Amino acid sequence: MTAERARSFAAGVGVYAATRPGYPDDAVRWAVPEGAHTVLDLAAGTGKLTASLVGLVPHVLAVEPTDEMRAELQRTLPGVPATAGTAEATGLPDVSVDAVTVGQAWHWFDQAAASAELARVLRPGGQLTVLWNIRDESEPWVAEFSRIVHRGDDLADHFDSPVLSDDFGPLEAAEFRWVQRIPTAALRPLAASRSFLLTMPPDEREARLAEIDELVATHPDLAGDAADQPYVVRAYRAFRR
Residue 1 pLDDT greater than 50, yes or no: no
Averaged pLDDT, 147-170: 91
CATH of the domain at 84: 3.40.50.150
- Whether 184 maps to a domain, the answer reads no
Tens-place pLDDT, residues 203-212: 999 999 999 9
As a whole number of angstroms, the distance between CA 20 and CA 35 comes to 29
Residue 103 pLDDT greater than 80, yes or no: yes
Share of the chain above pLDDT 90, in %: 88
Residue 6 pLDDT greater than 80, yes or no: no
Angle made by CA atoms 12, 18, 23, in degrees to the nearest 5: 110
- Whether 216 maps to a domain, the answer reads no
- Whether 149 maps to a domain, the answer reads no
- Whether 64 maps to a domain, the answer reads yes
The confidence band for 105, taking pLDDT boundaries of 50, 70 and 90, is very high
Tens-place pLDDT, residues 114-153: 999 999 999 999 999 999 999 999 999 999 999 999 999 9
- Whether 79 maps to a domain, the answer reads yes
- Whether 52 maps to a domain, the answer reads yes
Residues in the chain: 241
pLDDT of residue 12: 64
- The amino acid that residue 61 corresponds to is L
- Whether 6 maps to a domain, the answer reads yes
Residue 11 pLDDT greater than 70, yes or no: no
User: What mean pLDDT value characterizes the chain?
Assistant: 94
Least confident stretch, 6-10, 37-41, 128-132: 6-10
Q: Are the C-beta atoms of residues 163 and 130 closer than 8 Å to each other? A: no
Averaged pLDDT, 44-50: 97
Q: Are the C-beta atoms of residues 168 and 240 closer than 8 Å to each other? A: yes
As a whole number of angstroms, the distance between CA 195 and CA 180 comes to 21
- Whether 84 maps to a domain, the answer reads yes
Domain range enclosing 22: 2-135+156-179+228-239
Counted domains in the chain: 1
Residue 44 pLDDT greater than 70, yes or no: yes
Averaged pLDDT, 31-50: 97
